[in-house]
Amino acid sequence: MIEFLQNLIDALALGSIYALTALGIGLLFGILRLINFAHGDMITIGAYALIVPSADVTARLLIGSWTPAAVIIAISMIVVVAALITDAAVFRPLRTASSPTLMISSFAVSYIIQNGILIFYGARPKAVDFWSGANVQVYIGELRVPLLQLITLVVTLVLMVALTLFLRRTPYGVQMRAAAEDFRMAQYLGVRGNIVIGLAFAISGILAAAVSMLYITQSGSLTNQMGVPLALFAFVAVVVGGMGNLTGAVVGGFVLGLIVTMLQAYLPSDLRAFRDAFAFGVVILVLLIRPAGLLPARTTIERV
């Protein structure tokens, strides 16, 4: 039982990372119909911003050595600016482009960022010692839990509540939900499209920055492609949860975290190397049973 509970906490922590990433992707998909694979590279940018640019294998901390509050603010600002630049330089000129065009462009942005990092930081993975104090274990009764996992859960909860309040209670949040449902109609009512989209990019940047810091603290290593699998799993989470629905993205993230962690824990040891194949097998099963995802987006009911 204790073992199962520990696996469950692992699953929640991993699910949190997927859920935060999926929220960033889901938010932009809702408004722009953009499947933004470059979102993973925003996470990479946030991680690399912690260290001194150099080709050394062991990274020296730059921003990462500041006080935690300063780190959080600086990394968030850097990733938000990076996200806004991708919008201004790439996605804004493509506003009227089709969804596939936008997605291909996001692949291009993704590769440009990965190669840009290569130029300044070199190709080899780097070890980094960032907030490693958070990896201590704390005891909750008989449960032994890494402090970082608790932090991850709390941060995720706080960000989700903040995002929900923003979307429900503030004028810009309401305009964002309206734009996600019917962008053109929102414009007809005076909602400024570019401001709402810019805000969505900024929020996705904050979510990516949070994932950067949580993920690096846990993994302690940097590569220029570290964000790619996160974006891929998060995209799968968005689809499993139900596209165009932020609650679905969060649920999908946690479901995926649960599937991956439990397979890792309970698959026979010979098969664990193939964990992801089993995980995606489960994903296919879920989609066969519920093709629109676990929580399909509610669409406007056309009544006569």
Partner 1 sequence: MAPLLELENLSVRYGDLIALRDASLTVSEGEVVCIIGPNGAGKSTALAAIAGGVTPVSGAIRLDGQSILGQRPEQIARLRLSLVPEGRHIFGTLTVAENLQIGGYMLGDRAAARSEMERLLDHFPQLRERLRYPAGRLSGGEQQMLAVARAVMTRPRLLLVDEPSLGLAPKIIDQIYEILLELRQREKMTLLINEQSSARILKFADRVYVLRSGMVQLEGRAADLRDGEAIRHAYFGFGGGDRSLVETAA
Question: Which residue lies nearer to partner 1 by CB, 175 or 212?
Answer: 175
Question: Which residue lies nearer to partner 1 by CB, 129 or 182?
Answer: 182
Question: Which residue lies nearer to partner 1 by CB, 1 or 304?
Answer: 304
Handedness of CA 58, 63, 66, 69 (dihedral sign): negative
Question: Which residue lies nearer to partner 1 by CB, 158 or 165?
Answer: 165
How far apart, in whole angstroms, are the C-alpha atoms of residue 29 and residue 40?
A: 14
Q: Are 259 and 283 in contact (CB under 8 A)?
A: yes
Question: Which residue lies nearer to partner 1 by CB, 46 or 173?
Answer: 173
Residues 6+ apart with CB under 8 A from 256: 15, 18, 233, 236, 237, 240, 279, 283
Q: How far is the CB of 137 from partner 1 (least distance, A)?
A: 43
How far apart, in whole angstroms, are the C-alpha atoms of residue 178 and residue 125?
A: 43
Handedness of CA 25, 78, 116, 195 (dihedral sign): positive
Question: Which residue lies nearer to partner 1 by CB, 191 or 286?
Answer: 191
- Residues at the contact surface with partner 1, assessed by CB under 8 A: 171, 174-175, 177-178, 181-182, 184-193, 298-304
Q: Are 31 and 255 in contact (CB under 8 A)?
A: no
**Span between the terminal Cα atoms of the chain, in Å:** 54
Question: Which residue lies nearer to partner 1 by CB, 184 or 289?
Answer: 184
